[in-house]
Amino acid sequence: MFSKCTIQVVICLAGFSFLSGQTALGQGPGNGGNVQTVPIGELRDLMVQLQSTASIDVKSQVEVTLLPEIALQPACAIPVPADSLSVPIAGRLEFRASDARHWTLSQVDQEHMPWMSVEVAYDGTKYQLLRSDGTLSIGPVDSAAILPALPNPVMQLVQFRYPLNDANAATEFRLQDVWNDQVPESFWNVSWEQIVENGFVREAAVFPGGVYEGRSYVHRVIVPVTRRRTPVRIERIDDQGNLLTSAEFSDYRKITTVSGDGWWPHRIVLKAFAESNVMVGQIAHTITDLSVDATMSQESFVIDPSKAARVWDDVQSQFVQAE
């Protein structure tokens, strides 16, 4: 099992990983529900874009950079060699999901962060977790427990809807939650203000946040003035005006499906900050492949047992022979 310290580090570094246990259940388009129609360009259209997908398959090249200021974080020291600080560390993330099934592969350079390499899947009947030590755990119940893994870049688009707080910090917010979420109309009733950043006119709106480790915060969404459905940046800002995390989006590309046109960012940069807005770490995603509504086989959600050094049966609570 992963230590509490490791889990805290992942949460701290991945304030990036939009963790949430606060999801209103219902039938979304990803699970065969209805598809809403909203004016193009509105922020709510971004939510509809995700909810209208039947499946998502994404591959991303990643660079993780930890700055020496990471030592200021209260959780614990990042278990990374000192000579790796301030140096971009290579990684990759692959993710696919369809209905209740999902599969994720997270890998980071073994010399720097071996504990950030993990594979997890659920094929509808069997949950599988391949840990960095070679142990493959198999059980009948899907799990949303937080793992030391790279954050899913696609999910970063809607963090303003799913606050991280002390109550849900041990569980991961996932695409299934978006598909099942019935967003009330009142959620979108926010005030937009025009701002100027680097000579560009943009709009900003504040959405509810939460309280994490005693720090109350809100979400601030910054969008192009003419196209709210393609956020430029999403920030978490505490009640003292300090920046906690920032998610930056660029290189949007259009993908056309039967549900209509969708605009998806292919460059996502996630940053974490300590007090006084000092950046302590960054995870930069460059998406190399992204497909929506593709048909996926059952085998796409099964981890190959031959990858494992040993197999643990969660039901029997013992090691077993690989099938």
Band of the pLDDT at 69, cuts 50, 70, 90? confident
Q: Which of 48-52, 129-133, 209-213 has the lowest mean pLDDT?
A: 209-213
Q: Which two tokens stand for residue 220?
A: 């601030």
Q: Which of 16-20, 103-107, 197-201, 312-316 has the lowest mean pLDDT?
A: 16-20
Nearest to 151 by CA among 140, 142, 162, 141: 162
Q: Tens digit of pLDDT for each residue in 174-202?
A: 999 999 999 999 999 999 999 999 999 99
Q: Tens digit of pLDDT for each residue in 232-246?
A: 999 999 999 999 999
The full set of domain ranges for the chain reads 4-303
Q: Tens digit of pLDDT for each residue in 244-285?
A: 999 999 999 999 987 789 999 999 999 998 877 889 899 999
Question: Phi and psi dihedrals of 54, rounded to 5?
Answer: -90, -25
Neighbours of 212 (CB within 10 A): 22
At 16, which amino acid appears? F
Determine the distance from the C-alpha atom of residue 199 to the mean position of all C-alpha atoms in its chain, rounded to a whole number.
Answer: 30
Q: Tens digit of pLDDT for each residue in 16-43?
A: 433 323 322 223 334 433 344 444 589 9
How many angstroms separate the CA atoms of 265 and 97, rounded? 18
Which residues make beta-bridge pairs with 61?
A: 92, 286
Q: DSSP string spanning 191-244?
A: --EEEEETTEEEEEEEEEEEEETTEEEEEEEEEETT-TTS-SEEEEEETTS-EE
pTM: 0.87
Question: What was the pLDDT predicted at 260?
Answer: 85
Question: Phi and psi dihedrals of 48, rounded to 5?
Answer: -60, -40
Question: What was the pLDDT predicted at 78?
Answer: 63
Neighbours of 195 (CB within 10 A): 12
